[in-house]
């Protein structure tokens, strides 16, 4: 039996990556603190995936003024794109952007620079950062 494309599932959870307690709103699909996710859905909200692997943020893009994060499952390599939520810790968004930029360019010094300057440089419109596979 095929499930519908979206099922709103309101549930709280504890992030298995950073341990933060997250209050879900039915649209929450990743930790608002570290931005990691968990591979639990085939279609959003259906909880039908049996993998259960943690999903690392592997790409961050600005599409028409909205930030979109791609998560890649550490266990099965499944990828899923999700919009950044207004509830997400923006310092974490900047940190992930800096880490992705460092991984893409081979620089480790960028994270040590001021976050305010980085947010201006790394999150400009049409910016696309992703890890090299």
Which has the closest alpha carbon to 27: 74, 86, 96? 86
Residue 129 confidence (pLDDT) above 80: no
Q: What per-residue string of b and e applies to 86-122 under the rule 16 or more CB within 10 Å gives b?
A: eebeeebbbbbbbbbbeeeeeeeebeeeeeeebbeeb
Quick one: average pLDDT of 59-64? 90
Query: How far does CA 131 lie from the centroid of its chain?
Result: 13
Residue 125 confidence (pLDDT) above 50: no
Q: What is the pLDDT of residue 6?
A: 78
pTM: predicted TM-score of the whole model, two decimal places? 0.72
Q: Report pLDDT digits (tens) over 36-52.
A: 999 998 888 888 889 99
- 83/108: higher pLDDT: 83
Q: What is the pLDDT of residue 130?
A: 55
Q: What is the DSSP letter of 112?
A: G
CA distance 133 to 130: 9
- 131/89: higher pLDDT: 89
Which has the closest alpha carbon to 69: 86, 78, 82? 82
Q: What is the pLDDT of residue 32?
A: 92
Instruction: List the end-to-end C-alpha distance of the chain, in Å, as a whole number.
Output: 34
The encoded tokens of residue 73 equal 């499952």
């Amino acid at each position: 039996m095929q499930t519908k494309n979206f099922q709103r599932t309101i549930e709280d959870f504890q992030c298995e990556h950073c341990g933060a307690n997250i209050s879900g709103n039915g649209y929450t699909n990743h930790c608002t603190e570290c931005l990691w996710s968990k591979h639990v859905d085939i279609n959003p909200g259906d909880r039908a995936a049996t993998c259960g692997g943690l999903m690392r943020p592997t790409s961050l893009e600005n599409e028409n003024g909205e930030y979109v994060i791609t998560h890649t499952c550490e266990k099965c390599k499944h990828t899923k794109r999700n919009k950044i939520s207004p509830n997400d810790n923006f310092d974490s968004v900047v940190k992930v952007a800096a880490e992705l930029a460092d991984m893409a360019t081979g620089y480790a010094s960028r994270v040590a620079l001021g976050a305010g300057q980085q947010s201006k440089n790394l999150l400009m419109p049409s910016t696309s950062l992703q890890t090299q596979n």
